[in-house]
Chains A and B, each alone.
Chain A
Amino acid sequence: MPIVQLLCTRAGFSWVLLIAATVASVALGIDHGTGAAVSVVVLGIAAAKVRLVGLDFMELRHAPLGLRIVFETYCVALWAVLSAIYLWL
């Protein structure tokens, strides 16, 4: 069935990674005190997931470079800004 073929693609593989990352972040983030470095990791996982969704679901991997760079910058900036506020405020 064509659907199965379509699943064995980059998008399908990314999806598996996304599910795994979600489970991982829940396992990590579920119980810890305030100010833990774990939160930065959890945010990092979130940013990485955002990147995967953009690159492989929104097809930005093969979009014009300008757009892809803007998007990747967003992912990095998101993680950096949120982590910075978390750690230093």
Chain B
Amino acid sequence: MSERLADTAPPTRRLPGEQGTWVFLLGDMLVFGVFFATFMVERAREPTQFDTARRTLHTGIGFTNTLVLLLSSLLVVLAISALRHGLTKPARACTLGAMCCGMLFVALKAAEYWSMVAAGHGAGAGTFYLYYFSLTGLHLLHVVLGLAVLAFVLSQVRRPELSPTRVAVIEGAACFWHLVDLLWIVLFPLLYLVS
């Protein structure tokens, strides 16, 4: 539910999506948490090497990608809001917009990978790069899955009537996209900014 900041009446508590959605989302967050921690432990073993390698990353692309994903998440929020208000056209437009952002992320990432490999900083160039490509690669897999999920949402937007289960699945799908954003929000500083 979209709410004004000045809202004083507390909305009733409701679960976004279904129970199973959160089994999945929390599970994914937990596993990525383990991966983040593993990276930090490896970093502690060779801090100077990791820092040197970190500086070869394209922080500009990483920063742009963060903004791209944040924008896409906002568009998804707007799409769901529009869907709830029965505004089909804006819902479609926002979902498409979010998908475009997602594809832009993939394109930027591909360009970044390409340039890094070309500069000799491929996955085999050192422990940092190994983790960099593994972590961002797994995240990229999530982005691609997220695009498929958003395509599903797009297909549902046009339906005249949505059963409660379908609504729950769509909400869950939106939450998955936010998860993709959330994971990058941690990955970006972890890989590009922390030394």
- Which A residues are closer than 8 A to B by beta carbons? 2-3, 6-13, 15, 18-19, 22, 25-26, 28-30, 32-36, 39, 42-43, 45-47, 49-50, 53-54, 56-60, 62-65, 67, 70-71, 74, 77-78, 81-82, 85-86, 89
Contact = CB atoms under 8 A, between A and B. Distances in A.
Given A9-B3, A11-B2, A45 B189 contact: yes
Nearest to B76: A57
Contacts of A78: 33, 36, 186
Contact of B182 (A9, A19, A54): A54
Most central of B4, B40, B48 by chain A CB within 10 Å: B40
Contacts of A77: 33
Query: A interface, by DSSP: helix, strand, loop or mixed?
Result: helix
Contacts of B179: 58
A53 B183 CA distance: 10
Given A50-B185, A57-B178, A11 B5 contact: no
Interface in B42-101: 43-44, 47-48, 51, 59, 63, 66-67, 70, 73-74, 76-78, 81-82, 85, 87, 90, 94
Interface of B: 1-5, 11-16, 22, 25-26, 29-30, 33, 36-37, 40-41, 43-44, 47-48, 51, 59, 63, 66-67, 70, 73-74, 76-78, 81-82, 85, 87, 90, 94, 171, 175, 178-179, 181-182, 185-186, 188-190, 192-195
